[in-house]
């Protein structure tokens, strides 16, 4: 038990270090921090926005460029309010919440029970864990809020702050943010900030199908903001109230959906590995409790410092969404299949990943404390971000060894040579060692140093971030050398193999 606690402490410390690192090096800031921040909302800084844009670009290209039958859209955040009636969000997009009367702290009732299940599992009390899991699922499936409270009482679950079991009843809490559209109060109608991007794809299904002349099977991809009034927004950018999703809905012929589901399951895991997430930190978690519209669902989980958690969901959603829109909008959502000469509402396989959550996984995965003894017997004490070169905010940093003797001029020439091919910066302030350290901290994979030898023979050194190894290359071969390491085409090609 003591060992477990220690592990947890070091994991918490590691996560705290990553959050501090993200702030200190311009990746993520708390929103409106001068007013002490806003819970569950974050801003991306100068390095964060680059990393996030690169990530979104890789996802976008992995969808649209790697697949001839996937096209993108960019739908609005506001949608006709009936959309959310049809999708089921108005009636059932809610989480069960419970308050502790002493600390006034609010929890998700299901999460409190899940934590207890996890504890049983860690203590190898598997019978207890499975029995409790079954009970929890039964309550959730039957919307049995009293049952949830009963479990919390029976299990003697206490509030982490007050230490008491003085709980309110469990209530459902709808996660959608609403606002009013229209200038005149009486005529204004309630509209919602979309809680997922998927519905923007469903309502445009026929527009896209007809104008793109795609035939089933085909997909529609979208990246955009989504908003959820999460009961407990925590763990940094893991659970936010305003976040971004990267979703793709793949429309298929009924009865073929499970085949496609398996295919997308494999492809999406491959993507996460290709962007550098360590394979041993990725796993599938098949859903035992399926949403009413799904006939198969799996999460891809990443092992964060606080445990394995979902980063992406892959869901076989049947024809639920399109059928509901057909019913509520009274517009046909059918597709005529030339091959089978049948008319049907397509089935859908969805892949849905949070850009921010994946960003956090990437950051945790990249954060490396390089300690131990180096080749020269000196103690190493270095932190670097092991980012994939296509994701790194800066790919190449160019430094003159000294700020004199013609070195800055030569270094600037090298910078000009590279800046339109790679995300490159030039820096002449500070010592070379400090400059390397700074680039390590933001994950720049390649640093170039221009020294006196460069002036004589037109060679320079490339220093590699992870190994700190330095090699000398002719400037004439520089672009080719870098392109071997920073190659979008190669990245995309391997996804399709
Ligand atoms: P969770 O169980 O963690 O609340 P979910 O199952 O509700 O997630 P989905 O509705 O399937 O999530 O959304 C798809 C993806 O969107 C998730 O895998 C996650 O990456 C991301 N996501 C969902 N909610 C949030 C949030 N509040 N903050 C950041 N990312 C989120």
Is there an atom of ligand 1 within 6 Å of 423 CB?
A: no
Confidence of residue 453 (pLDDT cuts 50, 70, 90): very high
Task: Output the CA–CA distances (angstroms, integers) from residue 34 to 22, 29, 471, in the order listed.
Answer: 17, 11, 45
307: region left, alpha or beta (phi > 0 left; psi from -120 to 50 alpha): left
| Contact 310 CB / ligand 1 (< 6 Å) | yes
Closest residue (by CA) to atom 9 of ligand 1?
Answer: 313
Convert the pLDDT of each residue in 99-150 to its tens digit: 999 999 999 999 999 999 999 999 999 999 999 999 998 998 888 999 999 9
- pLDDT of residue 1 exceeding 50, the answer is no
**Residue 54 CB–ligand 1 contact under 6 Å:** no
- 243-290: pLDDT as tens digits: 999 999 999 999 999 999 999 999 999 999 999 999 999 999 998 778
Comparing C-alpha atoms, which of 77, 79, 150 is closest to residue 113? 150
For residues 34 and 43, what is the distance between their CA atoms, to the nearest angstrom?
A: 13
pLDDT of residue 143: 87
Answer whether 229's CB lies under 8 Å from 177's CB: yes
- pLDDT at residue 376 is higher than 80: no
What is the pLDDT at residue 12? Answer: 87
Mean predicted lDDT score pLDDT of the chain:
94
The closest residue, in CA terms, to atom 3 on ligand 1 is 310
The position carrying tokens 């890789």 is 58
Using CA positions, which residue lies closest to atom 25 of ligand 1?
239
Q: Is residue 97 a contact partner of residue 107, using CB atoms and an 8 Å limit? A: yes
Q: How far is the CA of 354 from the centre of ligand 1 (A)?
A: 6
Ligand 1 atom with least separation from CA of 228: 27
Distance CA 425, CA 446 (A): 11
Tell whether ligand 1 has an atom less than 6 A from the beta carbon of residue 351.
Answer: no
Distance 110 CA to ligand 1 centre (A): 16
Question: What's the pLDDT band for 471 if we cut at 50, 70, 90?
Answer: very high
pLDDT per residue as tens digits for the range 286-342: 987 788 788 999 999 999 999 999 999 999 999 999 999 999 999 999 999 999 999
Residue from 285, 290, 313 to probe ligand 1 pocket by mutation (most atoms less than 8 Å from CB): 313
- What percent of the chain shows pLDDT beyond 70? 97
Q: Is the pLDDT of residue 220 over 60?
A: yes
Mean pLDDT (whole number) for 69-74? 98
Instruction: Note the pLDDT of residue 86.
Output: 96
199 lines ligand 1 (CB under 6 A): no
């Amino acid at each position: 038990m003591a060992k477990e606690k220690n592990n947890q402490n070091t994991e918490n410390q590691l996560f705290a270090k990553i959050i501090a690192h993200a702030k200190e090096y311009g990746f993520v800031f708390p929103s409106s921090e001068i007013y002490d921040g806003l819970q569950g909302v974050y801003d991306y800084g100068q390095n964060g926005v680059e990393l996030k844009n690169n990530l979104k670009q890789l996802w976008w290209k992995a969808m649209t460029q790697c697949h001839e039958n996937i096209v993108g859209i960019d739908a609005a955040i506001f949608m006709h309010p009936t959309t959310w009636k049809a999708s089921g969000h108005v009636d059932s997009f809610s989480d069960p919440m419970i308050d502790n009367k002493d600390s006034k702290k609010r929890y998700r009732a299901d999460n409190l029970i899940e934590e207890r299940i996890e504890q049983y599992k860690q203590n190898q009390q598997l019978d207890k864990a499975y029995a409790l899991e079954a009970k929890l699922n039964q309550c959730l499936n039957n919307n049995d809020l009293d049952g949830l409270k009963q479990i919390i009482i029976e299990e003697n679950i206490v509030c982490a702050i007050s230490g008491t079991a003085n709980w309110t009843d469990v209530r459902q809490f709808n996660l959608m943010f609403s606002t009013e559209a229209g200038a005149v109060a009486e005529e204004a109608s309630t509209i919602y900030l979309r809680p997922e991007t998927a519905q923007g794809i469903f309502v445009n299904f026929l527009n896209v199908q007809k104008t793109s002349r795609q035939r089933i099977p085909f997909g529609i991809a979208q990246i955009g903001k989504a908003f959820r009034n999460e009961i407990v927004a925590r763990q940094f950018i893991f659970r936010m109230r305003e976040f971004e999703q990267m979703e793709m809905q793949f429309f298929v012929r009924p009865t073929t959906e499970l085949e496609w589901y398996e295919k997308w399951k494999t492809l999406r895991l491959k993507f996460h590995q290709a962007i550098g997430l360590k394979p041993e930190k990725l796993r599938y978690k098949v859903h035992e409790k399926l949403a009413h519209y799904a006939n198969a669902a799996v999460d891809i989980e990443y092992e964060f410092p606080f445990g394995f958690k979902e980063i992406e969901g892959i869901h076989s959603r049947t024809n639920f969404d399109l059928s509901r829109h057909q019913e509520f909008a009274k517009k046909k959502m059918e597709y005529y299949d030339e091959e089978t000469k049948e008319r049907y509402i397509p089935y859908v396989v969805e892949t849905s990943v949070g850009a921010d959550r994946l960003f956090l996984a990437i950051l945790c995965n990249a954060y490396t404390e390089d300690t131990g003894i180096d080749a020269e017997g000196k103690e190493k004490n270095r932190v670097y971000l092991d980012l994939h070169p296509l994701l790194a905010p800066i790919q190449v940093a160019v430094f003159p060894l000294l700020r004199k003797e013609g070195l800055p001029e030569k270094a600037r020439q090298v910078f000009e040579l590279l800046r339109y091919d790679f995300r490159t910066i030039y820096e002449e302030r500070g010592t070379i060692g400090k400059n390397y350290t700074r680039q390590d901290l933001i994950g720049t994979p390649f640093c170039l140093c221009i020294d006196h030898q460069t002036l004589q023979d037109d060679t320079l050194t490339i220093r590699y971030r992870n190994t700190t190894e330095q090699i000398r290359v002719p400037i004439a071969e520089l672009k080719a050398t870098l392109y071997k390491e920073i190659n979008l085409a190669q990245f995309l090609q391997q996804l399709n193999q």
